């Protein structure tokens, strides 16, 4: 990413985080359309169990066109395909020989497409939490902000005041479409739960931005099951209490909810009020360690810039040493007006643990920006190596292995007692939404 720029940057002292939830639209079907462009606009069903000799199977993904015929995820595959209109098959000669466009699951291909998407996500955000093959949270607080700027919106030059966060989110979505060729919906909010709801709000290929002061109002009219973490079972229980919307849940007696649902009731009450204190934490080991800091205003004071870089370099190097991490690449980030993010990096001959070298390289790379106004500076070490005893939790980089975390991200009320995680698509198993089978991807 050396020398690249991204739209939008912000102040890392800002009170509100900027979280993106990126959700690939009908991902398996989109992948099939990627290699068979003729499927675009056609009803496509991806699943398993419709092949000769198979008697049990389920829909993994149904395109929006297929859903118009009453096909849903987790539906028995034989029932789903029979609902689709017949497709003429010239190679067979019998137009009734095939119904709809059914494709068997091809996880190897889908994962290759997902890898291309994730490469973009990791390039556009410092912190990425991959929830599944087709879904991720991005914390872009250090790259953008809720600040509003004038942005031309028409050919005549008319402008609209939009947030920088929206510009970055639009960049992510359009880059995925342009580079990979599959659609994504993006939700932007100040916390994970609200961003998740936002990404579901305008599918497919949607972009919904919910500024911090509008979260509660955005959620209030929505059906209660749209609150992140509420599945059909819990939604039914809440309706029995007369709670049908997020606004009603937000206004409900908190003590009553806790008595009825335990700590889960308190959490859902907070979510309905637009509050979610969870941090976006990557799963597995981090690819880099970094520290950033903004100036109160853009400055061309080279002495001040060097002093800030020294502090940042020392902090990054100390964190790496504390965690027993070696690094092969040292880089900087310099944000220049108006909102350009410039990165520079230098690769070393081998992994090192040398704080003095981090400072030396950082200052050398930053020399390019001497005399130029700078809004923010950052120092990063990457291409990390871990000592034999080093595990995957480096401060905020914990792998989510607990049952509650997996339940939160799956959007269902319960998970198997063994705490099955949702990071990768699981083998077919009962799913509490329908009593049918799950292929691990029930996307919008």
Q: What is the pLDDT of residue 281?
A: 87
Q: Tell me if 146 is assigned to some domain.
A: no
d(CA 82, CA 70): 10
Strand-pair category, 58-62 with 44-48: antiparallel
Q: What is the pLDDT of residue 7?
A: 40
Distance of CA 128 to CAs 141, 339, 345, Å? 12, 22, 21
For residue 137, CA distances in Å to 21, 22, 144, 356, 410 come to: 5, 6, 15, 34, 13
Res. 439: pLDDT tops 70? no
Please check whether residue 265 lies inside any domain of the structure.
yes
For the stretch 354-398, pLDDT in tens is 999 999 999 999 999 999 999 889 899 999 998 644 433 333 333
Give every CB contact of residue 76 below 8 A, 6+ residues apart in sequence. Answer: 49, 56, 57, 58, 59, 436
* Phi, psi at 198, each rounded to 5°: -65, -40
Do 306 and 375 lie in one domain? The reply is yes
Q: Is there a domain that residue 332 lies in?
A: yes
Would residue 142 count as lying in a domain? no
Other Cβ atoms closer than 10 A to 371: 7
Q: Do 378 and 323 lie in a common domain?
A: yes
299 shares its domain with 364: yes
Q: Please say if 135 is a catalytic residue.
A: yes
DSSP 195-254: HHHHHHHT-SS-EEE--GGGHHHHHTTSBGGGSTT--HHHHHHHHHTT--BHHHHHHS-H
Q: Would you place residue 51 in the very low, low, confident or very high pLDDT band (cuts 50, 70, 90)?
A: low
Distances (CA, A) of 168 to 20, 175, 208, 439: 10, 10, 12, 32
Cβ neighbourhood burial of 102 (10 Å; 0-12, 13-18, 19+): buried
Q: Do residue 311 and residue 365 come from a single domain?
A: yes
What CATH number should be reported for the domain holding residue 275? 1.10.150.20
Is pLDDT of 47 > 70? yes
How many beta carbons lie within 10 A of that of residue 164, not counting itself? 23
Residues 255 and 301 in one domain: no
Interval 346-350 mean pLDDT:
92
Task: Give yes or no: residues 379 and 407 share one domain.
Answer: no
Question: Where does residue 166 rank: exposed (0-12), middle (13-18), buried (19+ CB within 10 A)?
Answer: buried
What are the tens digits of pLDDT across the range 176-205? 999 999 999 999 999 999 999 999 999 999
Last residue of a domain, one of 70, 85, 106: 106
- For residues 292 and 374, membership in a common domain is answered with yes
The parent domain of residue 86 ranges over 31-106
304 with 379, same domain?
yes
Cα 90 from Cα 92, distance rounded (Å): 5
- The answer to whether 231 touches 223, Cβ cutoff 8 Å, is no
List 329's β-bridge partners, or say none: 347, 382
Is residue 72 a part of any domain in this protein? yes
Query: Which pLDDT does position 217 carry in this prediction?
Result: 94
Task: Give a yes or no: residue 422 inside a domain.
Answer: yes
**Is residue 303 located within the same domain as residue 263?**
no
**Residue 328, burial from CB neighbour count under 10 angstroms (0-12, 13-18, 19+):** middle
Residues 325 and 376 occupy one common structural domain: yes
Tell which of 106, 127, 154 closes a domain. 106
CA distance 131 to 35: 25
Residues 6+ apart with CB under 8 A from 290: 126, 316, 333, 378, 379, 380, 381
Dmax of the chain from CA atoms? 78
- Name the active-site residue from 32, 135, 166, 292: 135
Report the pLDDT averaged over residues 146-168: 77
CA–CA distance, 359 with 305 (Å, rounded to integer): 13
The pLDDT assigned to 64 comes to 93
Residue 358 inside a domain? The answer is: yes
Domains identified in the chain, total number: 3
How would you class 257 by CB atoms within 10 Å of its CB: exposed for 0-12, middle for 13-18, buried for 19 or more?
buried
Q: Do residues 295 and 345 share a domain? A: yes
Dihedral sign (CA 25, 27, 33, 39): negative
Q: Where are the beta strands (DSSP E) in 98-196?
A: 101-104, 127-132, 135-139, 148-152, 159-163, 184-189
Q: What is the DSSP letter of 367?
A: G
- Within a 10 A sphere around the Cβ of 67, how many other Cβ atoms? 14
Q: Is residue 343 part of a domain?
A: yes
Cα torsion through 63, 69, 74, 76, rounded to 10: -130
Say if strands 184-189 and 207-209 run parallel, antiparallel, or are unpaired: parallel
pLDDT on residue 132: 87
| Structure confidence at residue 432 (pLDDT) | 28
CATH number, domain of 302, equals: 3.30.1490.100
Q: Looking at 106, 121, 141, which one is the last position of a domain? A: 106
Q: Is the pLDDT of residue 102 over 50?
A: yes
- Which residues face 139 on adjacent strands? 19, 127
Pick from 71, 60, 68: nearest CA to 29: 60
**pLDDT over 80 at 249, yes or no:** yes
Whether residues 262 and 293 fall in one domain: no
């Amino acid at each position: 990413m050396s020398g690249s720029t991204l739209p939008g940057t912000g102040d890392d002292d800002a009170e509100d985080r900027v979280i993106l939830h990126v959700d690939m639209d009908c991902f398996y079907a989109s992948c099939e359309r990627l290699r068979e462009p003729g499927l675009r606009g056609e009803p496509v069903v991806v699943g398993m169990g419709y092949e000769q000799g198979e008697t049990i199977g389920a829909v993994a993904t149904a395109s929006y066109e297929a859903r118009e015929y009453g096909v849903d995820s987790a539906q028995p595959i034989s029932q789903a395909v029979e609902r689709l209109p017949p497709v003429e098959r010239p190679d067979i000669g019998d137009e009734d020989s095939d119904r709809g466009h059914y494709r068997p699951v091809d996880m190897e291909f889908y994962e290759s497409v997902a890898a291309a998407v994730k490469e973009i996500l990791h390039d556009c955000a410092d912190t990425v939490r991959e929830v599944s093959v087709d879904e991720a949270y991005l914390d872009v607080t250090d790259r953008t902000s809720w600040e509003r700027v004038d942005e031309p919106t028409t050919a005549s030059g008319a402008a609209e005041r939009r947030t920088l966060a929206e510009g970055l989110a639009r960049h992510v979505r359009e880059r995925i479409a342009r580079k990979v060729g599959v659609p994504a919906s993006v939700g932007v909010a100040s916390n994970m739960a609200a961003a998740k709801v936002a990404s579901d709000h305008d599918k497919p290929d949607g972009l919904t931005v919910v500024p911090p002061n509008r979260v509660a109002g955005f959620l209030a009219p929505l059906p209660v099951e749209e609150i992140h973490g509420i599945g059909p079972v819990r939604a039914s229980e809440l309706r029995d209490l007369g709670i049908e919307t997020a606004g009603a849940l937000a206004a409900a007696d908190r003590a009553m909810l806790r008595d009825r649902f335990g700590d889960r009731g308190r959490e859902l009450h907070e979510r309905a009020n637009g509050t979610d204190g969870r941090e976006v934490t990557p799963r597995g080991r981090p690819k880099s360690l970094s520290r950033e800091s903004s100036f109160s205003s853009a400055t061309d004071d080279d002495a001040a810039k060097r002093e800030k870089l020294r502090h940042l370099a020392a902090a990054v190097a100390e964190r790496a040493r504390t965690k027993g991490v070696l690094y092969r690449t040292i880089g900087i980030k310099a944000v220049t007006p108006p909102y350009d993010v410039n990165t520079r990096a230098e690769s070393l001959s081998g992994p090192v643990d040398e704080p003095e070298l981090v400072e030396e390289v950082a200052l050398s790379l930053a020399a390019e920006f001497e005399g130029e106004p700078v809004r923010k500076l950052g120092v990063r070490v990457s291409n990390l190596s871990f000592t034999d005893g080093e595990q995957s939790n480096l401060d905020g980089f914990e792998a989510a292995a607990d049952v509650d975390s997996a339940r939160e991200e799956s959007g269902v009320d319960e998970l198997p007692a063994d705490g099955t995680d949702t990071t990768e698509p699981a083998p077919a198993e009962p799913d509490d939404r329908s009593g049918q089978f799950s292929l691990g991807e029930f996307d919008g």
